[in-house]
Structure formats: C-alpha cells, structure tokens
Amino acid sequence: MADKELKESPTDSSDECSDQEPSYIFYRDRPEWNDIVPVELHEGPFPVVAIAYSDRFKDIFNYFRAIVLKNEISERAFQLTSDALELNPANYTVWQYRRTVLKGLEKNIQKELSFVRTIIEDHPKNYQVWHHRRVLVEWSGDPSSELRLTEIVLAQDAKNYHAWQHRQWVLETFKLFDHELEFVERLLEDDIRNNSAWNQRYFVVKQTSGFTEDIINRELTFTVNSIKIVCNNESAWNYLRGILSHCPTGLNGHPIVEELCQFLDYNKSEAPFYFSFLVDRMEEMMQSDPLKREVLLPKADQVLQLLATKMDPIRREYWLFLSRYLNSQFAN
C-alpha cells in the first residue's frame, strides 16, 4: 500500500518508477558526464528514516549533489534539475538551484512557465511549484496567463488553497480586479457552499470599493438572499458577520438583517447558525443598553440551552460557556 504524507506536498499516487524505459541511460553511464564524481549518501550503519531509493533516483541525485557542490551553472545542470524534479517535485533545493541556473544562463522565462505549468497540473497541491511560478512572474512582470491557469486548476478543485493564494497575489500585484467579482459569483452559483469563493468575495470587496454604505447594502442583500435559500450554510453566515463588522450599527439595526430575522422567525427556522446569531445580537443589545438585560438574558439563556441540548449538542461546552459568560456580565 502506498503511504503518502500530506504535510508539505501531497503528491498523488501516479508517481512511478520508470527504470524500465528502454531508452533511459543512467547518468553514471553517460560519457558527457564522466568528468563528474557522483556524491553518494553515506549515512552510517544504522538506518534512520532510510528510503529504499530506486536506482534511477539514487543515480540522479548523486549527480545533482555533485553539481550543486561545484556550483556548476550549465545547460546539462539545468536538464539534470528537470530529471530530479520529475522524481521529487517537492525537493525545494532542486527548485532553488534551478532558479540559480535559470538566472545564470538567462533562460527563456516563457518556456519555463510552460514547464512549471505541466508540473502544477500533476501536482496542484505542491508548495514549490506555485512558488516557482510566482518568482517567474515576478521576473517577467507578465501576469497574462495566471488568471487563466488558476481558473483551470480551480475548475478541478474549487478550493485549492495554493491556486487561490497565487490568484490573490496576481490580482493584488498587477491590479487585475476588473472581472474578479464576476468570477467569484460564477463559482458561488456552481457551489454556494464554496467557502474559498466567499473568502475571495470578501477580498475583492476589500481591495476594490471597500466597505462603503452602498457596498454593505449590496453585500448584505446578496448574502441574505443566499441564506434564505440554503440556511445551514456556515460560509454565508460567516460572510454576513464579516460584512456587519464594518457596520457601525453592528448586528442589530440594519433593515436588511432585521428582515432576514423576521423571515427566519416566520419560517420557524431551526438552523443553529441562526440561533447563534440571535444570541450574539442579544449580547450586543445587552452591552449597549443595560435596561434590556433583565429581559434579554433569560432569552439568551433559553436559546443557548436549546443549542446545547437539541440543535447543536456537539458544541455543548461552548454554548454553556457563553451562557456562563453572559450571566457573569449581565446578571444582577
């Protein structure tokens, strides 16, 4: 069974050992490499996390180590890094050395962008490939393929963290926000529960218009409509709270939010996110108006008991904590 770690580079299981390729020649058998003394790993008699490397892997990295030690900047060194990366695209030393060679040989950036693109396609959750891409775009100053590339990767996995991160960097660095809200809305149409898309929406608003009164109204309308359709969608509720954090009136007092609460009350909604929101509304009211505490505190307690025992019992400790907290703050 193939054991794969997901720490830095969750590679998929299509990594294969292709020692069986008929045309493959080991570096140790290549005459154009016989000036190089390969550097083998000698780690002592007691193996520690010793990997059973294939011959091909050992051969390539023996030569890679030799090249790095002599700091050779050459076309053959460059090719060697390609071979090494095919075997382990998570080897950051190889990527870093490759960048040194790229610079030293003044190699064509567009070709390199194509190269890293093919690796991204096979290893979309690898840190090193995305970082390499970013460095290339920094060098070339040309972001023209980046939105398309991230869009393609996101079409396969709409929540790929690296793809979103790269996309945000491109948008911000090159000020390419023009069509991003459209893009986000399409993704939300595809999957209203896509939290990465909601997060991106917040980012676009923040970096473009900012949270003006008009924009707040627009965003609240959008979010409230979404909640009315899928009430148990935490992404929408988190976004709602995020927008309201820019609202001077807080959770209470905005007509769009008041209407949502009336709607949910009328429809006897039992969504835990709604009840949790109600408690926070009550807390805010009790904070700003001491006269309301006597009435609201028992109500808040009632909702919290309901959450703890019936609506959302897995979070019982949290609901009970909030109850104790509110009582300590607002009880007489």
Partner 1 sequence: MTSFTISANSLQTEPLEEITHQFIELCTPRIHLDVEGNPTVTSDEQVKVESTIEHLLETFLENHEIDDTLPRLNRLQIVDFVRHGLSKLSTSYECLDASRTWVCYWNLHSLELLEVPLADETKDAVISFLNLCQNPTGGFGGGPFQYSHLAPTYAAVNALVILQSEEAYKIINRTNLYNFLMNCRNEEGAFALHVGGEVDVRGTYCAVVVAKLTGIVDQKLFSGTSDWILKCQTYEGGFAGTPNQEAHGGYTFCALAALTLLGQESKCNIRCLLRWACNRQMKFEGGFQGRTNKLVDGCYSFWQGALFPLLHFLLAKSDQYSEALDAEKWLFNQEALQEYLLVCCQHPFGGLLDKPGRPRDFYHTCYGLSGLSIAQHVNGLVSGKTSIVGSPNNELALTHPIYNLGVTAVMSALNYFNSQPLRI
Known catalytic residue: 125? yes
Backbone angles phi, psi at 45, to 5 degrees: -75, -20
Nearest distance from C-beta of residue 64 to partner 1, angstroms = 9
Among 27, 78, 233, 257, binds partner 1 (CB under 8 A): 233
3 sits near partner 1 (criterion: CB under 8 A): yes
CB of 59 to partner 1, least distance (A): 13
Mapping DSSP to helix (H, G, I), strand (E, B) and coil, where does residue 249 land? coil
Position 197: which residue type?
A
Cβ atoms of residues 166 and 137 within 8 Å: no
CB of 295 to partner 1, least distance (A): 21
Give whichever of 76 and 159 is closer to partner 1, judged by the CB atom.
159
Return d(Cα 196, Cα 320) in angstroms, integer.
31
Q: Which residue from 76, 107, 159, 218 is in contact with partner 1, where contact means CB under 8 A?
A: 159
Query: Alpha-carbon distance 4 to 9, whole Å?
Result: 9
Of residues 58, 107, 125, 228, which has the active-site annotation? 125
Site for partner 1 in 266-325 (CB under 8 A): 270, 276, 305, 308-318, 320-322, 324-325
Stretch that binds partner 1, among 6-14, 24-32, 108-116, 287-295 (CB under 8 A): 6-14
* DSSP H helices in 106-145: 109-122, 127-140
Tell me how far apart the alpha carbons of residues 318 and 299 are, in angstroms, rounded to a whole number: 17
Nearest C-alpha neighbor of 272 from the set 324, 307, 297: 307
Q: Please say which residue, 81 or 91, places its beta carbon nearer to partner 1.
A: 91
Cα separation, 175 vs 38, in Å, equals 47
Instruction: Give the contact letters, 92-121, x = binds to partner 1 (CB under 8 A), - = no.
Output: xx--x--x----------------------
Of the chain, the end-to-end C-alpha distance in Å amounts to: 63
CB neighbours (10 Å) of residue 116? 23
Residue whose C-alpha is closest to residue 177's, from 195, 154, 200: 200
Near partner 1 in 242-261, by CB under 8 A: 242, 245
Rg (CA), the chain: 28
3-state secondary structure 252-264: CCCHHHHHHHHHH
Provide the mask over 121-150, with x wherever binding to partner 1 is found by CB under 8 A and - wherever it is not: ------x--xx--xx---------------
CA atoms within 13 A on the CB side of 15: 19
24 vs 321 by CB, closer to partner 1: 321
Interface of this chain with partner 1, residues 180 to 209, rule: CB under 8 A: 190-196, 199, 202-203, 206-207
Residue 31 Cβ vs partner 1, minimum distance, rounded to whole Å: 25
The verdict on 212 binding partner 1 (CB under 8 A) reads no
Residue ranges in 44-73 that form contacts with partner 1 under rule CB under 8 A: 44, 46-54, 57, 61, 65, 68-69
Helix (H, G, I), strand (E, B) or coil at 85: helix
Give the nearer residue to partner 1 in terms of CB position, either 31 or 293. Answer: 293
Q: Closest separation between CB of residue 51 and partner 1, Å?
A: 5
Catalytic (active-site) positions: 125
